[in-house]
Amino acid sequence: MSQNTGAPEDATAWRARQEAVRRDSEEQREQQERQAAEAAERARQTPPPSNRDDRNDLGGDEVDERRRGFFGSVLAGIREIIIVIVLAMALSFVVKTWLFQAFYIPSGSMENTLVRDDRVIVSKLTPGPFDLRRGDVVVFEDPGTPTPWLAGLNNTPSTVGGPFHDALVFVGLLPEDSENHLIKRVIGLPGDHVQADGTTGKIKVNGVEITEPYIKPGDAPSEGKPFNIVVPQGKVWVMGDHRSDSADSRYHDGDSGGVDGSVPIDKIVGRALFIVWPIEHVTWLGVPERTFAQVPSPSGTEAPAIKPKATNPPPAKTTTAKAG
């Protein structure tokens, strides 16, 4: 009898336990849902924090690493700029000292070849590796004998400048304000016999009349200044293209026969190659070879190329060329 009633009692108990487990699970799930909803509501109602330190979101080490990386990049960029500037200045110094130099034309003694305010590039390789020729336009230091060629001219130095300006002048990035240089055209080489009648007649070099297309229109070849000289060895006879406005070899020779009026070759800085400024004046300053093509050397043969004696390189500076 008891065996027949045991099975139903066990099934009933099992179902009761299952029901209790189900109710507990539902209650836990409902409780979790309520907690999640309450958390979401609190998060929605809570205002976002202001002026939050990055350290709240990132570790302090990571922030420091970012800052170090930023400042490191800035310092690296500054270092590269300084290196580029130093290299550019060094290159400019080398080019200006041994190769090329810019000059400024402040007067009209070389018109119309060069006019006031032109900027020209001068090659320091002539004289030197390249030879001086008749017709070259050259820049040279004031010979200073028997008197300075620039004496009496208004050579008031510029007051614009300062240490930074002076540094740029020294390395060749700016022109210097000094005016102890002149620019003229070579007419006679060492040993040449150069003469003019002082009227409208052409200049003769070693007995041959030369036609000078570069003379400013309206000017005579010797413009009222007769001369008959022989260019001493180691010197050249120079004249401006604007003959009526050029205090050149003619006006500094006196009665020396070419000794005082000729310019020592070792005073020549270089040959003017081309005009670089202003843009509308940009042109190559070629040598008028036809003008001197028929001129013989003093011995009756073609004049040999003239090279100066070896000298130390000229002072490294960018100088205003005074066209006298």
Annotated active-site positions, please?
A: 109, 184
Given a contact cutoff of 8 angstroms between Cβ atoms, the answer to whether 318 and 96 are in contact is yes
Q: Name residue 227's beta-bridge partners.
A: 196
| Strands in 28-107 per DSSP E | 100-104
Helical segments of 235-299, H only: 249-252, 289-292
- Cα four-point dihedral sign 111, 113, 119, 122: negative
CA distance 206 to 219: 23
Q: Are 320 and 120 in contact (CB under 8 A)?
A: no
Q: How far apart are CA 97 and CA 316, in angstroms?
A: 5
Nearest by Cα to 316 from 100, 88, 128: 100
Residues near 253 by beta carbon (within 8 Å), at least 6 away in sequence: 227, 229, 259, 260, 261, 262
CB 278 within 8 A of CB 117: yes
Distances (CA, A) of 265 to 133, 134, 255: 12, 13, 21
d(CA 83, CA 173): 17
